[in-house]
Structure 1
Amino acid sequence: MPAVLRRASLRQPRARQLWAGDSLAVDACLESSPLETVYLRSEIRQGALRQGALVGIEHPDDHRLHAVAMKGPLLVPWAPGERDLVALAGALRSQVRFVQLIVGPRDQVAGLQRLLASQLGPARLLRAEQPHYAVDLDGLVAWPLDPPPLRKANVGDLEQAVRAGAAMHLEEVGFDPLASDPVGFRQRVLTLIRRGWVHVWMEGDQIVFKAECSAVTAEAIQLQGVWTNPKFRGQGRGTLAMAVLCRRLLAETQTVTLFVNDFNAVAIHVYERIGFRRIGTMRSVLF
């Protein structure tokens, strides 16, 4: 290889497996975008680096990480630069046959879809535009009504939480996880309950409202699975519960974030009504 080409190749971004010893380098890569990378940062707190679940893109000229992704059935990228996104796609190419879901910033996920199209194949479900929202204490609208009996779910609530989660999944995604993966879905809900990340408003043995934390850091908490029982919709209960939940969570973190399907006008109205502001757009692709 001519010397000029060899020098050019040495300057190209390179991929490497990340481990626990890379925690400071990963933090430096992600810290400038704490809301967009909250899921990755939270998973690192839960042991993702020790488990070898992350890959990074390093620049030889500065020996810093410029992109990070969690790999496996759930692929979550953070690669804001096009050159790093291309390098990340190259690193993941041999592993994408295991990917079931890609979630992340819209342009990055769309870029990976384009770069890995022949390996990924057609998507089963595409949510191309998912508004990304955030609220902090300064932006949260004060709610004058008495707070509802919202609490953290316990293991005794597992079956109700599983049924509520499955109902929401069927409504939002179009298929029932209890039909496709009942054991795995129940285990995921149980894990969230044991972490104290599932919040419920119960009346008798019925869930009125449910929301889950999908990521928790000192800078942000990301919500998912926000659901109001259809029997109790149209009464303002979901709005009240979300306002109360956000106020409680903001005693533990600086910002609450979530993303929502762009066609869910009712949910978007609720979030904006209590003070959420749009900060970007996410994209989810199911295979």
Structure 2
Amino acid sequence: MGKLVIHLGPPKTATTSFQRFFSTNKINGIIYHGVHQPRVTSDTSLCAEIYNFTTSIIRDDEQLKNRIERLSFDDNCIHLFSEEMFLVGSRGLTWVDKLKQLRPVLENVQYEILIVIRNPEDAIRSLYQEIFFRVQDSGINDINTFAKSVHSEIYMYDLFVDKLEELGFENIKILDYMKLINNIYSLEEIFNVPVDIPLRLNLSNQSKRKNQTYYANNADLRMILRSKMLKCFGSILPSALNRKIYNYLPRMKLNHVKPLDVNIESEVLKPFDYSYAEILSKAI
């Protein structure tokens, strides 16, 4: 009987590198169904189907459950799924909402949940750089506000694991980010398959930094102009007009144009550090 392994991330824990490794390497005993990098808009994989199911209003869970059950009975392989978007709020849904929909799909199959934990200060800083321009609309203008927001709550690892268990998830396996990126784990250690080779990751999507100064990622002229426009006219212009003006702004990729203060206050960071220390002791 096969087993499903659901790798959830979270974001900024080498998820893209993890996905690239398994999408580009054929490994005996492991069949990869997860995200392929770079992402494509027309993803028709089973992983994409499961994710879309968790965010859809109209759901046919029996049909999807039958597909997954057939998959698990087909062979003795590990069927690996990887999608960090389960842990990212989107389409008006929180990560908890999505996981509530995911749990029943796994009802009658043998599965394991795989999560990677990283020093929360580094993870929060990296995510802040990644989505800095996207969170401007919600009034998040500094990293301490960001750390206290819903965007960072996933890095309160003890509460995250508690929520997984509360939702009924079992067999939660925790990996240490530092061991993962330093190629210390073997595939046999993680997946219990007789393949004694290291999981070698080539890191990507790393934080932009120059001369010890951190910069916002994914900067383009349109985002920067929109950010300025929202600060000046956000409460004056109707949102429809704001969007129309935004669509006419020019696109141009820019590097090292928005320096960020990424120092998190110790009082803000303290509960994250306690949480990290507690869960790190449970990592394999």
TM-score interval w.r.t. the shorter chain?
Answer: under 0.3
Between structures 1 and 2, the one with greater helix share: 2
Between structures 1 and 2, the one with greater strand share: 1
